[in-house]
Amino acid sequence: MANGHPTRDEDFDLLALGALEGDEKQAIEAHAASCADCARKLAEARGRVAMLSLAAPEAAPSAAVQQRLMAQIRSGSSAAEPAQQPHIARVPASAGAPGAPGTFARWWNAILIPAAAALAALTIFLWRENRALDRQLAALHASMAQQQHELHEANEVAELMTSQSTITVPLAQQSGMPKGSAHVMYNEKMGMMMYDGEITPAPAAKTYQLWLVPVTGNPISCGVFKGEPDHWMMKVPEGMPAKWFAVTLEPAGGMPHPTGPMVLMGSVS
């Protein structure tokens, strides 16, 4: 026990199985009476044991088995007696002789009850181990998915940067606007663009927004950011010729179309 709490979760299962006695049993029960978390764990443990007991089929021997066993005991006892054996007083049936009523049931229970308790304890242990393995497997799957995502992004960056159809568009600071510079790498065929730049942080309640302005059609938002060093890559519609890229100052969260002053701008030559 640490600060009154059981240090091992399996203590709750052992208590529910009746495998704890004396001071240890009393200490956990007394603590659970005043600790909601431990009371919940103890109730869950008792529920698991109850489910196991309901799921286990009864193993009581049939009447025919009991009769054959008792007949073998009596016949063996008679064959071992000498011919002139003096009379020996019988022990009353209530004293626990093999032929006494209930003796067979007590003998059978003495075997089954410890075996059932051991099986229940093993089942609970395996259940806990299975849950731990499930958590580890889920963590491995999440890690693999993250690594695959990062590898995919790295491959896209490499392809964008090495493709002959990728163009680089410098974005120049506009007069009277916050200090900054940036450039955009754009591949019309791949439908990919990558922004890399640095601008003075946007004022409170304001944000910067990057736009792709096509030869025909409305500007397309390519990301919202607060300023300072920024770098990201994103997909845009494939096969869209760009006329220029621009960064505008917009309300926090960005706008569906440009509304604020142009901070950076670069023309696609």
Q: What is the pLDDT of residue 93?
A: 46
Q: What is the pLDDT of residue 47?
A: 75
Q: What is the pLDDT of residue 149?
A: 84
Q: What is the pLDDT of residue 13?
A: 75
How far is residue 45's CA from residue 48's CA, in Å, rounded to a whole number?
5
Q: What is the pLDDT of residue 175?
A: 93
Q: What is the pLDDT of residue 38?
A: 83
How far is residue 158's CA from residue 170's CA, in Å, rounded to a whole number?
20
How far is residue 201's CA from residue 186's CA, in Å, rounded to a whole number?
25
Q: What is the pLDDT of residue 119?
A: 72
Q: Which residues pair with 265 in a beta bridge?
A: 172, 246
- The CATH T-level fold of domain 166-267 is Immunoglobulin-like (2.60.40)
Domain chopping of the chain, boundaries: 10-54, 166-267
DSSP SS3 for 261: coil
**Average confidence (pLDDT) per 10 residues, the chain, 269 residues:** 65 73 80 82 76 56 60 59 49 48 57 65 74 82 87 86 94 94 95 95 95 95 93 92 96 95 93
Strand order in the sheet with 242-251: 220-225, 206-214, 242-251, 262-267, 166-173, 180-187, 192-199, 228-235
